[in-house]
Amino acid sequence: MNENTIISFRDLFLGFPLAYGTDEGGCRWADVDSMWEKHLSGEEMIGIYPMVYDPHFTQGGPDSWTEGPDNHRYYVEMDPDLWMCKWGSIDIDDGEDSLVIARNTQTIFRAMDICAWPERSRSKGYHLWIFTEEWVRASVIRRAMHAALDLAEASYDAVYPKQDSLEGPPGNYMRLPYGGKRPKDRQEMVDLCGMIPSVDEFLHFAELDRTPTELLERAATLYKDPVPLVPDLPPKRDYSKEPLMTVDGTRLRGLPSEMFKNGPVPYYKGTHGAGKGRHGFLNRFARAMFETGYTRSDVLSWTKDLDSRLGDWYDDGPKFTGRQDCERQINRLVSDAERKASR
């Protein structure tokens, strides 16, 4: 593998330096510098965590955390504005419409003078990447991406980074393109002509088209926090006389009951923090359950059951059911929903 290719690839996808995501869906704490060549050669495909706390080391840099219970890592006296990243990505998982959605959003980015690169993901979807000239606050790049999505009226599964700030590292990772053992015609960028550039061609043009901070800050001002179409908890509505459903002995009522019966219309669309794909719907459902007073055990059971029937509304079928990491992924999703519900 050409050393210049490895260096350019690392510089473009730079993120948290002390942990990476595995191809199987886990997190491995290790020096990421040793992994770039392995990824490109196919020895070990990886994902990168985009968020770095204090990359300029004004408060100790990316390794200045304190370990708490269960090896959870916390930053002491954290400044939320010091969570930064050098790239952002949008996960679009809408089957055959994914490319159209990615192109429409890319056109909005171009109108903002922001270069965005579509990547064929390893499933049926697309990822849309933007790369920055320097470290940018995570909140700025997230709002810029949400602004483009709103203007394009685009559906999406998730925006990376997923948070404006963290209690501690590492956050959520994004699988990298151009792995040496990638599926045929997948995990590669697509240019404006529909051609697939080689990794070196992509790196050359992506380096030339990095986005300045001021353009992202300008785009971020276009984003407006949406007003939920449906309140989190319908006020003064008596569900006690309505038909209830039961899973594992637990009855379901309220907004979660409506979402479970009727699917993703319109209960989560336009709700801040929820995408318009399978992951966003499941997250919004789990959050509604916590807000309605259900236990974590109940939320896990119901969310898993709801995921198994997503094929009623999505052509791609369930998000996690049937995967080896199903339990872990649903646990992670429910934990995220629980945090949002407690705010």
**Total residue length of the chain:** 343
pLDDT at 255: 83
Residue 237 forms part of a structural domain: no
Of 226 and 323, the structure prediction assigns the larger pLDDT to: 323
Average pLDDT over residues 151-176: 91
Shared domain for 272 and 329, answered yes or no, is: yes
**Which domain does 172 fall in, by range?**
3-220
Which residue in 279, 303, 298, 314 sits closest to 95, CA to CA?
Answer: 314
Which residue in 157, 137, 34 sits closest to 84, CA to CA?
Answer: 137
Residue 230 forms part of a structural domain: no
The tens digit of pLDDT for each residue in 82-123 reads 999 999 999 998 888 899 999 999 999 999 999 999 999 987
Shared domain for 210 and 73, answered yes or no, is: yes
The tens digit of pLDDT for each residue in 1-49 reads 799 999 999 999 999 999 999 988 899 999 999 999 999 999 999 999 9
The tens digit of pLDDT for each residue in 207-243 reads 999 999 999 999 999 998 765 544 444 444 443 444 4
User: How many of the other CB atoms lie within 10 Å of CB of 251?
Assistant: 11
pLDDT at 49: 96
Question: How far, in Å, CA of 296 to CA of 111, rounded?
Answer: 44
Among 151, 186, 220, give the residue marking a domain's end: 220
Q: Residue 180 pLDDT more than 60?
A: yes
Q: Residue 193 pLDDT more than 70?
A: yes
SS3 237: coil
The tens digit of pLDDT for each residue in 244-272 reads 455 555 678 888 888 888 787 654 444 43
Query: Using CB atoms within 10 A of its CB, is residue 309 exposed (0-12), middle (13-18) or buried (19+)?
Result: middle
pLDDT at 275: 47
Shared domain for 58 and 136, answered yes or no, is: yes
CB 317 within 8 A of CB 266: no
pLDDT at 243: 45
Residue 231 forms part of a structural domain: no
Q: Residue 71 pLDDT more than 70?
A: no
Mean pLDDT score across all residues of the chain = 85
Which residue in 300, 164, 148, 292 sits closest to 234, CA to CA?
Answer: 292
Shared domain for 250 and 216, answered yes or no, is: no
Query: What single-letter amino acid sits at 283?
Result: N
Tell which phi-psi region holds residue 254, choosing left (phi > 0), alpha (psi between -120 and 50) or beta: left
Share of the chain above pLDDT 70, in %: 83
